[in-house]
């Protein structure tokens, strides 16, 4: 049953990618910076990391908007290290680091982990889920990587590439239940959650 006057919806993010995604399915929401420490804990796995940070972001903003439903999200790339473990990669931040990340992806398959937490402080509501998208990269030579980074400068994206843009040319395949997840917010499942708490989507 949809709410006649639903509570406010707040995105706990300043990411323009997540803002654009949420705007595709709901046109009335606010954005707020969560301002949390995103440092990975010692020996913390990828799924645990993104899940913890998504919930922490949502809770930080929900403290300011206790009556609202607040969406927190976090994303990281997980690269198998060959010894049964994983290397966790976030936003490269610099072109040099972006080139280094893409070099390590050449001919390999990564798991992109996108966690979402929907929180409402006033009634202690917290709904969490994680989407896993597997991306197989083709063999990438130095010239290809350099051209791509120079043209798209994807230094603010987890893994250092944008599947929704030129970065798709670096891939051999993408295995995903939700194509929007790789961009930063899994809209299919998020819409189901929002409908479940009373938002009318569409």
> Residue 3 has what pLDDT?
54
Residue range 68-87: mean pLDDT, rounded: 90
| Domain of 66, in residue numbers | 9-196
Q: For residue 1, tell me if it sits in a domain.
A: no
Token representation of residue 178: 């939700």
**Alpha-carbon gap, residue 123 to 79, rounded angstroms:** 38
Residue 167 sits in a domain whose CATH number is 3.90.950.10
> Residue 4 has what pLDDT?
58
Query: Who's near 21: CB < 8 A, 6+ residues apart?
Result: 180, 183, 184, 185, 187
- pLDDT for 96-123, tens place per residue? 999 999 999 999 999 999 999 999 999 9
Report the mean per-residue pLDDT for the chain: 94
**Alpha-carbon gap, residue 190 to 139, rounded angstroms:** 34
**Alpha-carbon gap, residue 66 to 61, rounded angstroms:** 8
Residue 2 predicted with pLDDT over 80: no
Q: For residue 112, tell me if it sits in a domain.
A: yes
CA distances from 118 to 103, 112, 149 (A): 35, 20, 34
Q: For residue 188, tell me if it sits in a domain.
A: yes
If we measure between CA atoms, which residue out of 129, 8, 128, 12 comes closest to residue 59?
12
If we measure between CA atoms, which residue out of 11, 61, 18, 16 comes closest to residue 36?
61
Residue 67 predicted with pLDDT over 90: yes
Q: For residue 146, tell me if it sits in a domain.
A: yes
pLDDT exceeding 90 applies to what percent of the chain? 88
Residue 1 predicted with pLDDT over 80: no
| String of DSSP letters for 20-46 | HHHHHH-S--EE-------PPPTT--H
**Alpha-carbon gap, residue 76 to 115, rounded angstroms:** 9
Q: For residue 4, tell me if it sits in a domain.
A: no
Token representation of residue 1: 């049953």
Query: Who's near 37: CB < 8 A, 6+ residues apart?
Result: none
Q: How sure is the predictor about 80, in pLDDT bands with cuts at 50, 70 and 90? A: confident
Q: For residue 29, tell me if it sits in a domain.
A: yes
- pLDDT for 9-54, tens place per residue? 999 999 999 999 999 999 899 999 999 999 999 989 999 999 999 9
> Residue 111 has what pLDDT?
96
Q: For residue 155, tell me if it sits in a domain.
A: yes
Q: For residue 165, tell me if it sits in a domain.
A: yes
Paired strand residues for 79: 87
Total domain count, the chain: 1
Active site residues per annotation: 74
Residue range 124-137: mean pLDDT, rounded: 97
pLDDT exceeding 70 applies to what percent of the chain? 98
């Amino acid at each position: 049953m949809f709410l006649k006057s639903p509570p406010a919806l707040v995105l706990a993010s300043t990411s323009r990618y997540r803002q654009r995604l949420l705007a595709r399915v709901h046109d009335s929401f606010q954005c707020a910076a969560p301002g949390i420490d995103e440092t990975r804990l010692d020996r913390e796995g990828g799924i645990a990391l993104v899940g913890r940070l998504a919930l922490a972001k949502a809770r930080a903003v929900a403290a300011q908007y206790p009556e609202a439903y607040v969406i927190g999200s976090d994303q990281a790339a997980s690269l198998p290290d060959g010894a049964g473990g994983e290397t966790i990669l976030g936003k490269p931040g610099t072109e040099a680091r972006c080139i280094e990340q893409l070099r390590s992806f050449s001919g390999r398959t990564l798991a992109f982990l996108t966690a979402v937490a929907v929180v409402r402080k006033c009634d202690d509501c917290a709904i969490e889920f994680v989407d896993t998208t597997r991306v197989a990269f083709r063999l990438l030579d130095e010239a290809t990587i350099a051209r791509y980074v120079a043209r798209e400068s994807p230094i603010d994206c987890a893994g250092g590439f944008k599947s929704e843009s030129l970065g798709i040319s670096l891939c051999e395949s993408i295995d995903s239940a939700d194509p929007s997840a790789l961009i930063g917010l899994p809209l299919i499942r998020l819409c189901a959650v929002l409908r479940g708490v009373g938002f009318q989507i569409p």
